[in-house]
């Protein structure tokens, strides 16, 4: 029988491991393996357990899979071709962008949906959506799914053109895919709390 003290220690360790092992994993590293729908639903359900001031729950998600990805790839590549010079956007970059979304078995469009009746600041609702996205990222980590938040202008513009209502704003696309954890290494470190914290007594 696991004693409560022991269980508490396990919970603390598991949470710390998940938080500190989570890394942004880009679609180039994803395996061509679908993510089961019940896991996607679990990721989204955990998103909705984020804190939300005045309970406005200001998020909406759009799940892109299968045939939804190619049109976005076309748009992405064309978006930058129209805005960058030929030197900045050579053929190989264009092709890479065009095919990039196809490397992700699942992409979730992150939408901030403002509450129209409750008096709440935009940043408070935006912060709630960010908390929801972090819940998604941590859940992915727990399921060994790689993920990252892409806030590129093309994502935001694509969502606006296709799905959004006036009181909605796209905050980016959340890419997800299984990957080979053994091969992945991130050199990114964090600045210690002593440089980021003022203690007042």
Can you give the binding site for ligand FMN, defined by CB under 6 A? 23-24, 148-152, 172, 186, 188
* DSSP β-ladder status, 59-64 and 168-178: unpaired
Q: Which residue is nearest to ligand FMN (CB)?
A: 24
CB of 173 to ligand FMN, least distance (A): 9
Please say which residue, 72 or 149, places its beta carbon nearer to ligand FMN: 149
Q: How far is CA 145 from CA 21, 149, 179, 197, in A?
A: 12, 13, 7, 32
Please say which residue, 73 or 172, places its beta carbon nearer to ligand FMN: 172
Please say which residue, 147 or 164, places its beta carbon nearer to ligand FMN: 147
CB of 100 to ligand FMN, least distance (A): 11
Count the residues in the chain. Answer: 201
Please say which residue, 106 or 136, places its beta carbon nearer to ligand FMN: 136
- DSSP assignment, residue 102? G
| Torsion angles phi and psi, residue 102, rounded to 5 | -70, -15
Please say which residue, 10 or 19, places its beta carbon nearer to ligand FMN: 19
Are 159 and 170 spatial neighbours (Cβ–Cβ below 8 Å)?
yes
State the Cα–Cα distance between residues 39 and 42, nearest whole angstrom.
5
CB of 174 to ligand FMN, least distance (A): 10
Q: Is the dihedral of CA 22, 99, 44, 34 positive or negative?
A: negative
CB of 153 to ligand FMN, least distance (A): 9
Angle between helices 91-99 and 69-83 (to 10 degrees): 150
CB of 134 to ligand FMN, least distance (A): 8
CB of 171 to ligand FMN, least distance (A): 7
Please say which residue, 116 or 187, places its beta carbon nearer to ligand FMN: 187
Listing from the earlier edge strand, what are the strands of the sheet with 145-150? 59-64, 106-113, 168-178, 145-150
């Amino acid at each position: 029988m696991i004693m409560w003290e022991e269980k508490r220690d396990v919970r603390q360790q598991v949470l710390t491991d998940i938080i500190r092992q989570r890394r942004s994993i880009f679609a180039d590293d994803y395996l061509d393996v679908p993510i089961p729908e019940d896991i996607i639903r679990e990721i989204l359900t955990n998103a909705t357990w984020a804190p939300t001031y005045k309970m406005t729950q200001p998020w909406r998600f759009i799940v892109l899979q299968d045939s939804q990805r190619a049109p976005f790839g076309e748009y992405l590549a064309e978006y930058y071709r129209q805005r960058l010079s030929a030197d900045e956007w050579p053929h190989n970059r264009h092709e890479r962008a065009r095919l990039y979304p196809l490397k992700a078995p699942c992409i979730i469009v992150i939408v901030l949906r403002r509450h129209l009746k409750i008096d709440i600041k935009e940043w408070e609702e935006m912060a709630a959506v960010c908390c929801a996205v972090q819940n998604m990222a941590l859940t992915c980590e727990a399921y060994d799914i790689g993920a990252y938040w892409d806030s590129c202008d093309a994502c935001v513009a694509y969502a606006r053109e296709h799905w959004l209502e006036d009181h909605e704003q796209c905050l980016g696309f959340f890419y997800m895919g299984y990957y080979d954890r053994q091969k992945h290494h991130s050199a990114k470190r964090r600045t210690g709390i002593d440089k980021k914290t003022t203690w007042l007594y």
